Chains A and B, each alone.
Chain A
């Protein structure tokens, strides 16, 4: 099995350690990983702000980079960016038959990291270990457009010494929402605070997600509130890169 790794721009620039963990996990499972040079971003920020032309243009670049036959799948450690490609590319190229065909062909090959492990490789027990009491936050796109809900939970349940806790209103958005977090900062922070309140009530010391963007927002707010909750991407947990 050979996969192309899609490392979203903020993972590339802000959380490269997440990408590193993904590579290590995949290699341990015997997967050959290639990193197509020339990749940048899926175009989601422009798309979410209504700049569809700009998003289409970035999307074309993305498809140029990732369309290759040399790999079986494109694996992405972000539910949100995976959704942009697999769900919203067909949407933005709706009226452009050529691009739409390309997008529809690429869509099923793009898999979010936990989805890939569980549903393509059939792995649920990775044999990882981590001490802690954790809650898991499912990013909204991963939850609703991708429907990848059980997969991360299954992987986490099999992490030795890790206790996975329930938390209140876990389906609520964390308030990041891309540019929303900057355009509507007060509401965005109030949403984060509701999540944090539930997290504190649950008694967790660790917050895990498959989306570094949600984590960046919640981590920033946790830090400002003076909390030292450990914040990890699922790949880091599996890789034992849990700090």
Chain B
């Protein structure tokens, strides 16, 4: 019997309003709104608590975890030191198997390559899975805009991503894209798509999604995926996922395109054994994810599945500029999301406050590096520098030290502003000079006298106001320690 291609029912137009075009600046304002959103807070708490507990349990049961972490760091260090060579090796291996390789300098290059490919193939429907890199460059929206005449329908097929897309929303977590939504909201979104009221249970919602996505899988002309890892030695793309959807994207459509950040390389196949073990455990608290997929080029003669055409896009988009700089370690990230889950700031704000694809500590580090420090100038400050992220990171990236270096970079580039510059100059002069320090203390004690009479101050001008709006400000002691010492303890 002939299988008919299902009708193209368009429902996934990209209409994410606050996507990557929103200014990254303004973390504080978005965070202020987020901390008051109790529904959001509950959802994030639920997800992060579960992930952290799972992660702790499986890592504790893996005695070699610290050693694996050390090895992962070394492998990445080695990869970055010879990135050119490894990229060349990767390209040769893929081409040797009949695949196409494209080096994309920027996001625009990626869009153009895929747009032209879609035109050549006469594509109508594109399915996608597992790709943060295309999120980073807003591939969907740009394809729809720049190639409007093709009238492409681009469908996210990972369940969470799909729901986010239907809701006109962006992912708010690297691993749990819609962790900010509760069941009520998810039911609402899917019901709207179904055109009928769906019952709010996992079974019913899941089966609706499965039915609808199946149509898309069968109709797809091109499948786009990301890559968790690319093995330079063999040209293999590895994706790890908990949904079978990824495999339907890589094997059903006649064309498979991989968009991969150049930092995702590992030199050898055996390196995967280190990273795959760490990734699942750190990200979701599983020993292994449900699917670990390897794709090496297009379908070879005699093979049963795989795409006819295989394209690997190696995307730079600012990454190579970090090589050999104090920020290189940011490229070691394997996008497990562990640092988000343990980050006390992320836990209060959720991912959207960060205003970009990558949120949490790693987002606060790489967004300013990839987008330019000025636009993302709030992000390096969106951290109390508690170090929980560094402790959790399976690759051992010193995220909080990188945040400190980014703050220093802002000072050096003059992004910080004059007022702060003067304040810290004043700080320096005072603290270098014990006499001046003592006098400042005395002045402070005098200045607070009228305030102290009125009890704990509720509002004060300047930076102290930010403190006193919600916390009592401590009073300076009548006598500093140095004086008590002199008087004799």
Whether B212 is near chain A, meaning CB under 8 Å from some CB there, is: no
A40→B407 contact, CB < 8 A: no
Pick from A14, A48, A188, A224: contact of B404, CB under 8 Å: A48
Whether A185 is near chain B, meaning CB under 8 Å from some CB there, is: yes
388-413 of chain B: CB within 8 A of chain A: 388, 390-391, 401, 404, 406-411
B434→A37 contact, CB < 8 A: yes
Whether B416 is near chain A, meaning CB under 8 Å from some CB there, is: yes
- Nearest-neighbour CB distance to chain B for A103, whole angstroms, equals 16
B31→A187 contact, CB < 8 A: yes
B387→A177 contact, CB < 8 A: no
Whether B466 is near chain A, meaning CB under 8 Å from some CB there, is: yes
B390→A50 contact, CB < 8 A: no
B481→A49 contact, CB < 8 A: no
Q: State A22–B386 Cα separation when bound (angstroms).
A: 26
What 1/0 mask marks residues of chain B from 33 to 51 whose CB sits below 8 Å from any chain A CB? 0010000000000000000
Binds B, one of A104-112, A128-136, A156-164, A213-221: A213-221
Whether B349 is near chain A, meaning CB under 8 Å from some CB there, is: yes
Q: What B residues does A171 contact at CB under 8 A? A: 388
What 1/0 mask marks residues of chain A from 39 to 56 whose CB sits below 8 Å from any chain B CB? 111010111111110100
- Given A46-B424, A52-B408, A58-B431, verify A186-B31 contact (CB < 8 Å): yes
- Nearest-neighbour CB distance to chain B for A212, whole angstroms, equals 9
Give the interface SS of chain A, mostly helix, strand, loop or mixed: helix
A24→B408 contact, CB < 8 A: no
- Nearest-neighbour CB distance to chain A for B385, whole angstroms, equals 6
Chain A interface size range: 35 or more
Pick from A19, A35, A186: contact of B35, CB under 8 Å: A186
Q: State A176–B463 Cα separation when bound (angstroms).
A: 14
B484→A57 contact, CB < 8 A: no
Q: State A37–B421 Cα separation when bound (angstroms).
A: 28
B348→A194 contact, CB < 8 A: yes
What 1/0 mask marks residues of chain B from 330 to 351 whose CB sits below 8 Å from any chain A CB? 0000000000000011011100
Whether B474 is near chain A, meaning CB under 8 Å from some CB there, is: yes
Q: What A residues does B272 contact at CB under 8 A? A: none
What 1/0 mask marks residues of chain B from 421 to 436 whose CB sits below 8 Å from any chain A CB? 1001101101111100
Binds B, one of A5-13, A115-123, A201-209: A5-13
Whether B384 is near chain A, meaning CB under 8 Å from some CB there, is: yes
Whether B479 is near chain A, meaning CB under 8 Å from some CB there, is: yes
- Given A52-B411, A194-B348, verify A40-B479 contact (CB < 8 Å): no
The residue in chain B whose Cβ has the minimal distance to the Cβ of A212 is B474
Q: State A181–B384 Cα separation when bound (angstroms).
A: 8
- Nearest-neighbour CB distance to chain B for A84, whole angstroms, equals 11
Q: State A46–B384 Cα separation when bound (angstroms).
A: 14
423-463 of chain B: CB within 8 A of chain A: 424-425, 427-428, 430-434, 437, 441, 444, 456, 463
A177→B383 contact, CB < 8 A: yes
The residue in chain B whose Cβ has the minimal distance to the Cβ of A83 is B387
Q: State A172–B345 Cα separation when bound (angstroms).
A: 10
Whether A145 is near chain B, meaning CB under 8 Å from some CB there, is: yes
Whether A198 is near chain B, meaning CB under 8 Å from some CB there, is: no
B484→A54 contact, CB < 8 A: no
Pick from B31, B344, B385: contact of A48, CB under 8 Å: B385
- Nearest-neighbour CB distance to chain A for B175, whole angstroms, equals 20
Whether A140 is near chain B, meaning CB under 8 Å from some CB there, is: yes
- Nearest-neighbour CB distance to chain B for A190, whole angstroms, equals 4
Whether A241 is near chain B, meaning CB under 8 Å from some CB there, is: no
Q: What B residues does A12 contact at CB under 8 A? A: 441, 480-482
Whether B183 is near chain A, meaning CB under 8 Å from some CB there, is: no
Q: What B residues does A186 contact at CB under 8 A? A: 28, 31-32, 35
Whether B419 is near chain A, meaning CB under 8 Å from some CB there, is: no
A188→B384 contact, CB < 8 A: yes
311-330 of chain B: CB within 8 A of chain A: none
- Nearest-neighbour CB distance to chain B for A1, whole angstroms, equals 18
Q: What A residues does B479 contact at CB under 8 A? A: 16
Whether B197 is near chain A, meaning CB under 8 Å from some CB there, is: no
A140→B31 contact, CB < 8 A: no
459-489 of chain B: CB within 8 A of chain A: 463-464, 466-467, 469-477, 479-482, 484-485, 489
Pick from B386, B411, B470, B473: contact of A173, CB under 8 Å: B386
Q: What B residues does A144 contact at CB under 8 A? A: 386-388, 390-391
A185→B469 contact, CB < 8 A: yes
Whether B118 is near chain A, meaning CB under 8 Å from some CB there, is: no
Whether B132 is near chain A, meaning CB under 8 Å from some CB there, is: no
Pick from B27, B382, B427, B470: contact of A46, CB under 8 Å: B427
A13→B420 contact, CB < 8 A: no
Whether A85 is near chain B, meaning CB under 8 Å from some CB there, is: no
Could you list 9 A-B pairs, sorted by A, with CB under 8 Å? A19-B481, A51-B420, A61-B431, A140-B388, A173-B386, A180-B384, A182-B463, A184-B382, A189-B470
List 13 extra interface pairs beyond A35-B485, A46-B424, A54-B425, CB under 8 A. Answer: A9-B437, A14-B477, A15-B477, A41-B437, A52-B411, A58-B432, A144-B390, A176-B384, A181-B466, A183-B466, A185-B467, A186-B31, A223-B456
Residues on A lying within 8 angstroms of B by beta carbon are 7, 9, 11-17, 19-20, 23-24, 35, 37-41, 43, 45-52, 54, 57-58, 60-61, 91, 140-141, 143-145, 171-173, 175-178, 180-192, 194, 216-217, 219-221, 223-224
